């Protein structure tokens, strides 16, 4: 989970984290002996095909590549007494409700236990039922006597490109264990089971993320936050009033226009898919870690459940394009909604959150080097306008804050559009694959890396 806006008092804490992790190239060499010992004591991860913290990678490629589905057991590992494995049927409203309740009551909270993800059923349907999804990749653990769902983990198919290599893979997400069972060490068992089920389909790689440092990140990005409703964020403790500032000054600082400003800015429609996908694919070529989308996948992820245009009724995915005067689509941008539940607040129960998803622009296509100063300036100007309109749309849909990572080309607009650095970091991991570090858009001094930007072109929910 991304963290709260970073007040001045947290600067030393952030500097310490960055100094230790040296996040720009995921160098963990400066951890203390005690910290390194704790990390090496990850008994489970030492048994898995992932690089160790101190492993020097000489060549990119699979760690294990000699297995076949016939080598994989047909049955899961034994489960703890009183519990049983299950495949969660997310097309059954009752079982989807079980997942909804489990995650909304037990999923990730921020450090101070003030906020928790507030998933909706529409969000789960969008996130878990992409083209090629498999029912058996929604794995649960239930109490035998009551049938209560107490653990869950999921996988969806993704085709990855890691630099020039293409990997048939899955994306692992929504690992959740009931709070009362977290001492039972169910997480490794769940990971082994989802791995077994994926391997039976002859898929041997996975992409996953975590806020914690595990062996061994391929990249690390930082969360950033752009207030849309400053007063509410301050009242619920999501951010603090800076010293020497007043609430009206902060409200004025983050005020946005009433409506989008870019000429030709409109919702993505079904008729736009081919042209937009072509623009998007060309834009993604600049990054080292990306997901490849088929036409059907692109329709699913960016049009949601509708047949003709982006859905605003479900309040999950919002996608837009910019069409120029010649009828050509020159920009594409999307974001999704995933609100928070506000814990222990007498006035507010929910916090509206928008998350920047994927985007593309042809602003710098005439240049062969994306880091060319002239190319960067042109792209910066276009992205500033594009994301500003997205912020306006998010505000009009009652979102209180808008989040973005330092991935993609985000560093070009984060400062200009008043995104503040959060105290949360997201680590990217590849299962059964060694890869050189991928730059995450952060400098050694915790700043947004406007010069190098990021080589991470994938966004995980």
**Angle in degrees, 0-180, between the axes of helices 121-128 and 93-106, rounded to the nearest 10:** 100
Distance of alpha carbon 431 from alpha carbon 331, whole angstroms:
33
The strand pair at 401-405 and 219-227 is best described as antiparallel
DSSP 8-class letter at 137: G
Distance of alpha carbon 166 from alpha carbon 229, whole angstroms:
42
User: Which of 28, 31, 343, 461 is an active site residue?
Assistant: 461
Tokens 């047909």 belong to which residue? 74
Distance of alpha carbon 250 from alpha carbon 393, whole angstroms:
20
> Hey, what are 84's tokens?
């049983």
Sign of CA dihedral 237, 243, 249, 253: negative
Give the number of C-alpha atoms closer than 13 A to the C-alpha of residue 47, restricted to the C-beta side.
Answer: 6
Told to judge if 461 belongs to the known catalytic residues of this protein, a careful annotator would answer yes
Distance of alpha carbon 427 from alpha carbon 429, whole angstroms:
7
The strand pair at 289-292 and 115-117 is best described as unpaired
Q: Strand, helix or coil at 309?
A: strand
Nearest C-alpha neighbor of 192 from the set 175, 213, 209: 175
Catalytic residue list:
461
């Amino acid at each position: 989970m991304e963290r709260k806006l970073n007040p001045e008092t947290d600067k030393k804490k952030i500097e310490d984290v960055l100094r230790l992790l040296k996040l720009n190239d995921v160098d963990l060499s400066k951890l203390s002996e005690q910290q390194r010992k704790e990390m090496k004591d990850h008994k489970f991860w030492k048994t898995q095909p992932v690089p160790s913290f101190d492993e020097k990678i000489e060549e990119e490629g699979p760690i294990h590549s000699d297995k076949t589905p016939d080598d994989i057991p047909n049955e899961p590992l034994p489960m703890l007494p009183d519990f049983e494995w299950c495949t969660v049927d997310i097309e059954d409203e009752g079982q989807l409700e079980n997942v909804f309740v489990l995650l909304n009551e037990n999923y990730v909270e921020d450090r101070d236990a003030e906020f928790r993800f507030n998933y909706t059923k529409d969000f789960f349907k969008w996130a878990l039922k992409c083209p090629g999804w498999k029912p058996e990749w929604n794995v649960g653990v239930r109490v035998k006597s009551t049938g209560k769902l107490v653990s869950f983990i999921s996988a969806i198919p993704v085709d990855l490109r890691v630099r020039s290599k293409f990997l048939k893979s899955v994306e692992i997400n929504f690992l959740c264990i009931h709070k009362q069972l977290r001492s039972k060490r169910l997480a490794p068992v769940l990971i082994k089971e989802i791995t077994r089920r994926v391997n039976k389909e002859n898929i041997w790689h996975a992409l996953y993320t975590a806020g914690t440092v595990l062996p061994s990140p391929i990249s690390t990005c930082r969360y950033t936050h752009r207030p849309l409703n400053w007063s509410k964020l301050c009242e619920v403790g999501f951010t603090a009033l800076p010293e020497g500032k007043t609430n009206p000054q902060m409200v004025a600082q983050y005020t946005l226009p009433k409506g989008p400003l870019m000429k030709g800015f409109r919702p993505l429609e079904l008729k736009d898919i081919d042209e937009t996908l072509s623009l998007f694919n060309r834009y993604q070529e600049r990054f080292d870690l990306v997901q490849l989308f088929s036409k059907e996948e692109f329709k699913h992820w960016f049009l949601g459940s509708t047949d003709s245009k982006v859905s605003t009724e479900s309040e999950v995915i919002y996608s837009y394009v910019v069409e120029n005067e010649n009828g050509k689509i020159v920009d594409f941008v999307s974001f999704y909604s995933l609100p928070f539940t506000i814990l222990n607040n007498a006035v507010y129960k929910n916090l509206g959150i928008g998350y920047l998803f994927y985007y593309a622009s042809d602003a710098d296509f005439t240049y062969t080097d994306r880091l060319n100063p002239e190319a960067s300036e042109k792209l910066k100007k276009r992205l500033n306008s594009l994301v500003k309109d997205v912020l306006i749309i998010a505000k009009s849909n009652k979102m209180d804050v808008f989040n973005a990572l330092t991935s993609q080309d985000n560093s070009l607009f984060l400062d200009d559009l008043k995104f503040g650095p959060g105290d949360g970091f997201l680590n990217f991991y590849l299962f059964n694959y060694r890869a050189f570090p991928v730059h995450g858009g952060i400098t050694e001094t915790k700043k947004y890396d406007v010069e190098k930007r990021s080589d991470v072109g994938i966004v995980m929910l």
